Structure 1
Amino acid sequence: MTDSTPSAGKLDAGLLRVAAVVIIGAVMAILDTTVVNVALPVLTLEFHTSFDTIQWIATGYMLALATVIPVTGWASDRFGTKRLYMMAIVLFLAGSVLAGMAWNIESLIIFRVLQGLGGGMLMPAGMTILTKAAGPERVGRVMSVLGVPMLLGPIGGPILGGWLVDEVSWRWIFYINVPIGVVALVLAWRLLPADDPQPAERFDFLGMLMLSPGLAALIFGVSKIPGAGGISATDVWLPIVAGVVLIAGFIVRATKIANPLIDLSLFGNREFSISVLATAFFAMSFFGAMLLFPAYFSMVHGEPALQSGLLLAPQGIGAMITMPIAGMLADKIGVRKVVLPGLALIIAGMLVFTQVEADTPYWQLLGALGVLGLGMGATMMPIMSAALRTLTNRTVARATTSMNIVQQTAGAIGGAIMSIILAGLLAGQFGVPTAQGQVAASAALMNPQTHNQAAVLVADSFASTFLWALILVAVCVVPALFLPGARQQVSSAPSGDGDQEDENKDAKPVMLGH
């Protein structure tokens, strides 16, 4: 008899419809993490405030994402992923409309936090929906589909934000979410398969009060390092220590209770643990470096924000070429055989940026970005799919939550690390305190008499910072060596996960339309 289950064939029409709904929501959330950055100088003038204060428009959103993600796994079980996904869209839309109507900087920051609460649930809930719908043998291909907006966001965001600010109004960087969100909400209601909530488990409220504030405090402390001039400042080390203590307390408690907010027993699965470790180093290195590319074009080559965003296009093009191929190959030949060549491409591209100078030709820079994109498309989503393909449907929601926490936290810390390194190098080059490094560099670049010399010093600082990003990518090779090297046929539960009968039941792919 012919096997007609979805996992036996290609991506069917029903699965593609589910993927389309999830992608629309993902595009909306991911674009909003980058579209605001280009508008920060305009908003500084609009609200007559300092750049240190205006930065909280971006940082507040990021912190909200980090704090709400731990709740998503439980909420997926309690309310069902479809209901949770629709609720996340509604929260995000409410925050978008209110942010567009903001009357002062304080209200804008508060409404951005509300936006982040919705945005933080969109990606993990969407990943859970897609992973369950695809089944274990198609998870690589379907995760590659989801990865497209994750790659295009950092490219399309600055371009869209620059155009809206220049041609329309800064308020439309938030209002633009409304039509997209309404379409996503209607399609989610009509196309997403219904799922059964599982209200049996009690919510780990104390765990939430430890982990969410712990993550927020840790990211907050790290993000304050460049402005404070070092880790010795009280508003840096105090939240970092508090965050570490809260997270450590959560881990200790989670090993002793029945239903913790994050199921640490998942890390008893070797493939899952290795994938999480690889994801952490990858997010720290690559997403940290991605923040530097537009800054390099802006400071060293004098490009405006919109043009800097356009120059990142080769990266997205490269990723779009390799991502669907990588997803298909990961399902067929094993994740390791795809990820290692991808990391080699990233290292090759990053190596070019460790040698940048003030007059490095554009063809060389754009070529390196294209190679980076090729490597990115072959690396990020296969690593994440390796963590999920060995799990049963019962554990997928909790696993995607853990993966998203790692990715968001590591990416935020990586961005802060790269900013700290760059700020310190610029300060050393221009002989000023760390907090004034970028200001001094910008002033010297704008002065015609010192521009050429300053450009050389700034380019050297960027090259040294990219070297640290290269080192972190190289470290990522170590856990990647232990990723699955052969095709995995059927998912199995992690160690200690239920009896055989339940395991077999949960391992079945979710049938669309039922």
Structure 2
Amino acid sequence: MDLRLEFPEPAPAPFLSRRASYPWLVVGTVCIGAFIGQVDASIVQLAMPALEDSFDAPLHAVSWVAVGYVLAYAAALPMFARLAEIGGRKALYLVGFALFGLFSALCGLAPNLPLLILFRILLGASGAALGANSLVILVAAAGPERRGKAVGVMAAAQAVGLSLGPALGGALLAAFGWRAIFWVTVPFALIASALAWLIVPKTKVFAKDARFDALGAALLAPALVALLLAITELPTWGLSAPLFVTALAALILLALFVWREAKAPAPLIHLSLFRVPAFAAGAVGVLVSYGLLYGMLFAMSFALVRGYHDPSYAAGLRLTIVPVALGIVAPFSGALADKRPRLVMLGGMVFCGFAALALTRLLTGAPASLPGVMGALAAFGVGLGLYIAPNNSATLEAAPADQQGIAGGLVNLMRVLGTGVGVAAASAMLGWRLEVIAQAHGRTAGASGPQLLAAVGGALLMLAALAALGAVMAFIRNDPETRQRKASAPSLPPSHEPLARPAT
């Protein structure tokens, strides 16, 4: 499909665009979006027990409040990235901010669970319109001389948002209830929308090739829906016909999508990069690491609220230790990995795996065990801090030099998919173990504290296995030959501008 379009875009305010500090005004505006995106992603994990109680719904149903957002984000991200290249970035960025605020407010007003899930799906699509454009806008405005510092500022904004989410969510849940966790992002979105209108520059460069892969887009969304549906509903459906049909549909649709992207003249996603072994291993590592992060936040929310009977504000503060430890270690892990990248990443996954295993023993429900639980959560965050930044960097480095932007887009997509897979898998394992241990019919409130903690232990074992997979991905990469692989790697046709590279 050939799309010859150019979205109408307002010019930035002259009294701002003429200022010497104008590039940093653009950077600051983009960082607001990066901040609220990470707050939203982390704040909702703590609300799962409250949503289960409020709607009297089973675990597999309320988990779609988190999974639906990620699913829509992942499905819409490549499409919005391509549309922005063809028609302009600022227009989609403004629309994304406005819709993000609108659907956040509607989430807080939702009268029932199906509508809340629907609004979260629409919120995820709105977030994709921001994510597809934010870093590209930032890098273009900062220019080569400020690029590193600007990306670092954005990474800091994301880290602050991720760290603030659990604590802020716990405080809001305790004071105002679950609706407040969605309303809190509305004022940020409104402020950012106004600033983006006044500050963000108009799009100057458009893709020369205006073709849009409509068939690929039509295959990607149902493929991801079927995949995550099969994972999330496994405890409810069991080994039944609905599960087999859904899993088979996911495999067929994913195969058709891969086939289409290999043939499309202007594909949404350049899958050819996965022929580079080091890139493929690193991309799986990205999925694993973010699956570990959000799977842990999801499972431990139930452990603390249901197993230890923590008030939500206390549970939020305890969960904050994971992203805080990650954020403290991550800046140093890159320097450590310069000489021994494989060793640092292996060490990170060892920390994560042993921390998850230790938690299966430490989660007794007794207050005296909480210091040990906090120590294990800190070790888990340290492990992720040692792994994520070096793995992301090494994955991008494994791509051919002229395809770094495209590689960044794929890394960004794997990060989002990892978030969804981690939550869906943790929910499925927790629900299955609850049924085996307590016959709770998918409701965590139907189990006693010890039964709930034993079920969480099953989810933690799954996370430990995921950490082992991450360690394997770190081990199989061949670092001394990275440059040689890059030189001999297949080059992809530069059919359009690259997708946004995620900040590490």
Q: Tell me if both proteins adopt one fold, taking TM over 0.5 as the criterion.
A: yes
The offset of 1:310, in angstroms, is 1.0
Show structure 2 runs of 5+ residues with no match. Answer: 1-20
| Alpha-carbon offset, residue 404 of structure 1 | 2.9
Q: Does 1:496 align with 2:502?
A: no
Question: What secondary structure, in the 3-state scheme, does the structure 2 residue paired with 1:355 have?
Answer: helix
Q: What corresponds to 2:190 in structure 1?
A: 182
Instruction: Say if 2:121 is the partner of 1:126.
Output: no
Aligned to 2:302: 295
What is the identity percentage for the equivalent residue pairs of Structure 1 and Structure 2? Answer: 29
Using the TM superposition, give the Cα deviation of residue 113 of structure 1 relative to its aligned residue in structure 2, in angstroms.
Answer: 2.2
Deviation at 1:145, TM superposition (A): 5.2
> What pairs with 1:92-491 in structure 2 (closer than 5 Å)?
92-129=100-137, 146-148=154-156, 153=161, 155-168=163-176, 170-189=178-197, 192=200, 195-228=204-237, 230-232=238-240, 234=242, 236-327=243-334, 333=339, 335-336=341-342, 338-358=344-364, 359=366, 361-389=369-397, 395-430=403-438, 432=439, 435-436=441-442, 438-442=444-448, 445=449, 455=450, 457-481=451-475, 482=477, 484=479
Mapped partners of 1:378, 1:137: distance in 2: 28
Distance 1:497 1:125, change over 3 A: same
Name the aligned partner's letter for residue 473 of structure 2: P
Deviation at 1:192, TM superposition (A): 4.9
> Which residue of 1 is the match for residue 87 of structure 2?
79
State the SS of the aligned residue for 2:266: coil
SS of 2:259 mapped into structure 1: helix
Instruction: Report the CA distance shift for 1:347/1:17 in structure 2 as closer, same or farther (over 3 A).
Output: farther
Structure 1 unmatched ranges of 5 or more:
1-12, 446-454
What is the CA deviation profile of residues 126-161 of structure 1, one whole-angstrom value per residue up to 9, with x for unaligned ones? 344556778999988876655555555565334323
- The 2-side partners of 1:81 and 1:136 are apart by 19
Checking the alignment, whether the CA contact within 8 Å between 1:130 and 1:142 is kept in structure 2 is: yes
3-state SS, counterpart of residue 291 of structure 1:
helix
Distance 1:389 1:89, change over 3 A: farther
Q: Secondary structure at the match of 1:296?
A: helix
Instruction: Return the offset for 1:394.
Output: 6.9
- What CA distance in whole angstroms lies between the structure 2 residues aligned with 1:70 and 1:404? 10
| Superposition map of 1:60-79 within 5 A | 60-79=68-87
Paired with 1:227 and 1:151, the residues of 2 have a C-alpha distance of: 35
Helix, strand or coil: the match of 2:250?
helix
Deviation at 1:65, TM superposition (A): 1.7
Shift of 1:276: 0.7
Question: Structure 1-normalised TM-score?
Answer: 0.78
Shift in Å at residue 204 of structure 1? Answer: 0.2
2:473 and 2:53 mapped to 1: Cα distance? 46
Matches of 1:336 and 1:346 in 2, distance apart? Answer: 15
Instruction: Kindly indicate whether the alpha-carbon contact (under 8 Å) linking 1:27 and 1:153 is maintained by their aligned counterparts in 2.
Output: yes
Aligned counterpart, 1:5: none
Taking the aligned partners of 1:392 and 1:347, their CA distance within structure 2 comes to 32
Task: Assess, with a 3 A threshold, how the Cα gap between structure 1 residues 364 and 195 changes in structure 2: closer, same or farther.
Answer: farther
CA distance 1:176–1:302, change in 2 (3 Å): closer
CA positional deviation for 1:245: 0.9
Q: What SS class does the counterpart of residue 361 from structure 1 fall into?
A: helix
Q: Which residue of 2 aligns with 1:10?
A: none
Residue pair 1:73, 1:397 contacting (<8 A) in 2 also: no
